[in-house]
Structure 1
């Protein structure tokens, strides 16, 4: 039987299983047809409508803004939307997130203060929304701000959403050895989060994310270290994280947050590199060919690596 019979071929799916978001992202990538006017207006209207849906579902909102920011980062759409609707919190936050994406890509932080001003303005207009503070946290991380400054933004997010996935990932990066933290600080943070959050919260993959990031950091050292990188998956923190995820995440309805499929991609990857292909074989069908760039891109073209590892795990 053909490998992909009865299911879609693997493909990059930044929107994951958010069909409404996926349709907008696809439309943003289309080349405007001759004679068709008002496409920018149509895009803005669709984005505005999408972000209004369930606008207090902070987890879903952050996922949608993150994907839309990546999809519009090379366009003037966010600036145009802000100019036309200067009172729109959603327009402000999309512009701020886009500028954050651009700063991450280029390393140019000259616009950092403008990003923070947009976030402060958005927070004044919608005080209960953690999203502005997530962006502030990310910008401060790029600026390598002091621990007290970063913690102040972290507290603002936590006061509004104590299980915010993106905020936790930003803190994980801030505490990493590559940014002036340490492996001990990372493990302490992960242990603390596990002790105070439900196992199926949007932060469910924090410990596994830390393990994969540690694995990648060892690989980047090269030489003998690369040959010993697999030892990461024999260490207790990584073993525990994999065991918990493999035992629970595939249970029906266990993971229900917006980026659940991204976390399942992470699980499939971690099981593969840990040599647990039998366990990985149970995860791949749940993804139905929807691939995330990270962490597969660490080993090559994400879709190609995903397809290769799915085929090997199915044997």
Structure 2
């Protein structure tokens, strides 16, 4: 059990000690440690997806990955990482409000890099995850199909909504039109891919916040048979975004939002269906971000079990979701994390 006064460590690598040296090297323009790490990771899709995302964020400039690709142009890992960093740059251009033509050009470069990675290692789900990320760019609904290297073979599927129970039947209870074939490809290679489903949730949020909640419920409902699936966490992420929108507009207070029956239901389901269903020896692989979301939601909703989640988090806090909540209340997120942790974790007893 962590002490209530345990100091916080905010670190991209989190609890993954093997990530630290490659991250440091990438910042210095060296890529060999990242190559070796991904080579050791192999087709562990969950770890490959999460590690490659952190490496792409921590890489900073494109220089190190570009140098790696120049040195090893046929490396599946180098091609995948090149797609990762170009996707990051395209989305950054959009978030910074750059000219639309420039954003779309950056998106086209990233798309082509993803296609190259798909061709080099067809079994790899990561390029499909990045294609889903690119769906957030202002390409228009018709332009989404251009993100699919196989769209000609399945042209009839584009622009349709997904059927609630099956991937391969005509839609009856539709969610919304969108890049479902891209999610299908990622899910086919890595069933229940955490990042792929979160990218689809983010796409839904751009259309309407309530669509993201509907999607999260649908996706988590499909995870019932796979009880340890991270998809159980999707509704909690969607609720944080919904809270940010509604609380910011003055529609609802914090207490009434987080203590609703709906949120308590999904908090319990995430606790038992994801966290408690994961054997303790395997919990070090759980997403640190998800652990922080679960700890926050359990405390905010008044549900039990947060102490064990804080134990797994240890000192490795993530700014989300604490920052979203604390900003709306004009508080510091570090203080909010420590306050909530202290409410369920006993302080360290000092012996003389």
Regarding TM over 0.5, the answer is yes
| Alignment partner of 1:68 out of 34, 40, 55 | 55
Q: Cα 1:158–1:44, aligned 2, differ >3 Å: closer, same or farther? A: same
Q: Is the 8 A contact 2:204 2:212 kept in 1?
A: yes
Q: 1:77 to 1:28 in 2, by over 3 A?
A: closer
Consecutive unaligned residues of structure 2, counting only runs of 5 or more, are 142-157, 160-177, 347-352
In the TM superposition, what is the alpha-carbon distance from 1:53 to its structure 2 partner?
1.4
Q: CA deviation at 1:259?
A: 4.0
Alpha carbons of structure 1 residues 289 and 193: separation in structure 2 relative to 1, 3 Å: same
Matches within 5 A, 1:149-298: 150-176=179-205, 179-181=206-208, 183=210, 186-196=213-223, 198-221=226-249, 223=250, 225-226=251-252, 228-247=253-272, 249-250=275-276, 253=279, 256=283, 258-276=285-303, 279-298=305-324
In the aligned structure 2, how far is the partner of 1:84 from the partner of 1:274?
52
Q: Any conservation in 2 of the 1:133–1:153 contact (CA below 8 Å)?
A: yes
Look up the match of 2:167: none
State which of 115, 124, 129 in structure 2 corresponds to 1:120. Answer: 115
The whole-number CA distance in structure 2 between the counterparts of 1:267 and 1:116 is 33
Contact 2:293 2:321 in 1 (8 A): yes
Q: 2:20: which partner in 1?
A: 22
1:126-141 correspondence to structure 2 within 5 Å: 126-141=121-136
Check whether the contact 1:291–1:302 (CA below 8 A) recurs between aligned residues.
no
Q: CA RMSD in A?
A: 2.8
Contact 1:141 1:150 in 2 (8 A): no
Matched, 1:101 2:129: no
Q: Using the alignment, how far apart are the partners of 2:73 and 2:318 within structure 1?
A: 34
Instruction: Report deviation, 1:144.
Output: 5.4
**1:35 alignment counterpart:** none
Contact 2:132 2:196 in 1 (8 A): yes
Partner SS state of residue 291, structure 1: coil
CA shift digits 1:63-86 (9 cap, x unpaired): 001100110133521122222221
State the shift of 1:290 in Å. 0.7
Q: CA deviation at 1:295?
A: 1.3
Residue by residue over 1:51-100, the C-alpha shift from the partner in whole angstroms, topping out at 9 and shown as x without a partner, is 11132111110100110011013352112222222112211221221222
Give the Cα–Cα distance (whole angstroms) in 2 for the partners of residues 144 and 162 of structure 1: 27
| CA drift at 1:294 | 1.6
- Distance change >3 Å, CA 185–CA 270, structure 1 → 2: closer
- TM-score, reference length from structure 2: 0.74
Matched residue SS, 2:14: coil
| 2:52–2:81 CA contact under 8 A, matched in 1 | yes
